Structure 1
Amino acid sequence: MYSTATELLRGGKLNFRTSSSSITGNEIRYNDPDCRPGMRCTRIEACDDPGTAPTLSADKKHFACCLEGQQLLGSPDTAFDCCAGGHDLVGSAATGYRCCPIGYTYDGQLCRELCKNGKQLVDGKCVCPEGTVEAADGTCRQARPPKPDCSSGLETGKCHTFTSENGDRLGLHNDGVYYATKDSIAHRYGKFQLCKDEKCTPGLAINPSDKTYIRDIYGDVTTGANAGMWLNNAKNGRHIGRTKAFDQAGEFALSKWPCGKYCLGGFRHGLGPACPAQTPALTFYTQDPQMCVPFELTEVPCDIKSDANNCIWTNGDQCCDKVDCSWRRRGGDSGHKCH
């Protein structure tokens, strides 16, 4: 006969392994599976403790004397116990086993709530693992890496204008190609959103070594249709235009230059004028990865209707807190100037 539950049942009837059984009142009749031929195999056991009755395990291979409303839980490899509804037998060989509410574990002294959403139990509390932070929905997400001490000043999700060294701004012409030229009925400056992925996850630092995608918030000249398209990956002389397909979006890189400028290049290729024209378009150069075109980037509202625009200048005033290089031309002192 097989039993394991004497200690765990704390005074209850022994837990026997059965092959077939029937329960009547506080008695159980069962056939001993280890019975040898020629011996009496049918046995009867009674529960003597007041209020207890024979209770079969879920697999009907074990029974014990449990109180009304309890269920027999456990296994020969762990332990057995009579647990109330809504409870489970939990623990380990190191801590022992006890009945705890479903969703809890046993640490050798107390029932502790099991951690969810990737959290870990530390000093009795469920916390996110090191290197992650708790999101608004309670899950643990990867913590943003700390920004480098020398930041480019650019972040994903924000919008900028690109102004060339002669004062013209990069934008879409009515031929579907991007140039830096004067605004007109045929040309409108672009409002460009910087992204690292198709969803344009906001708030990520953009560094020179990052693959950056550029989305033009504006649409067609005069009609505004097709807004929010990506600058494409035209290369080796083809003029950079727009695309709706993210897999055809150009892979750009932005490197910070002195005096508030950035050089717009490619992540793998270089970027430069497409033709020897007075107002050249742009193209990626696969044979010259260091080519780039300098622009001054000015942060502007992505949505001009948003009240958050009132605070757009709080992170580095682009009037009074940008580097003024005019001293080089007039031979004066360097420093931050307000115009």
Structure 2
Amino acid sequence: MKNIQLSFFALLLQASSLNAKVYRKNVLTYDVGPDAKITGNKIEYSDPDCDPDLQCVTTKTCTSAGTAPTLSANKKYFACCREGQRLLGSPDTAFDCCAAGHDLAGSAATGYRCCPTGYSFDGQICKPVCKNGKVLVDGQCVCPDGTVDSGDGTCKPKPTCSSGLQAELFDQPSVASGKCYTFTSETGNRLGLRSDGYYYAAPDSMVQRYGKFELCMDEKCTPGQVVNPFDKVYIKDLYGDVATGANRGQWLNNAQNGAHIARTPTFANAGQFSLSKWPCGKYCLGGFQWGVGPACPAEIPAMTFYSQDPQMCVAFTLTEVPCDIKADVNNCIWNSGDQCCNKVDCSGKLK
């Protein structure tokens, strides 16, 4: 009789263990009782699915290096997560260990993954969720065609000019893609690369040389497109290192929030600039989505993108210069006698 009782008790324990809920989507997760206690990489708790007539205390140990028991926010579930991660999810979706600044995103159709807060999961990658009428283009939320960012994150119709204003604008020279320019600041110094690898508007010297910048609307620098204030512009420095000239033809990068704008050979890391006309022939160099301004309180500051201030920009006078100083077409420039005030278009001349 005693053996029968023992066998029956063993069956009860086995049944209790089988009834314990385990969730296997993404990370292995368990139901825990309200008395869960974590010590190091061990957790001890009363099994919430245990028979009420039995006392079922469960102890589990996280054995993977760098992991420890982590409770969900409601303290009803636990999984083995790494330091700094949160256990997110539910029995109806999935459970996952997500880093700070991330949420569990997705759906029953796509599955669920940890994505940056405000992003969605399409089954393969995390994508930003666009708001205020913006659309997703190349992984970024931008205003749709025919509209521009109003500066507060919303989109407004692209401005049009009255006939009088349009004529005035056509009378002013416009910068264009595929052409090269120098950028002269209001101090009279030209923007260029210093030997520390960053860009400043400073006098030319052995450690600073002005830049010859090609304006591009795409990676191939497709020529002939007029640059408008609402256009995304990439800037390629045709010059190389200050001392040797090596590494020429790189992009000004997308350093932001105090990091100094430098160069990158990788187009994906190129800064997305904008150019807006200012009075007296000046242009203000800003960002397509962000602003551009001084990086530090220095006497001669470098530049940085300001992600929180899209209206910030730095004023420059742009002077068109030959992209290739060896090209015979440059002889056309002398034909007018005054290229500054009565500019000649040399694009139709034979090389």
Question: TM-score, normalised to structure 2's length?
Answer: 0.48
Which of structures 1 and 2 has the bigger CA Rg?
1
Question: TM-score, normalised to structure 1's length?
Answer: 0.50
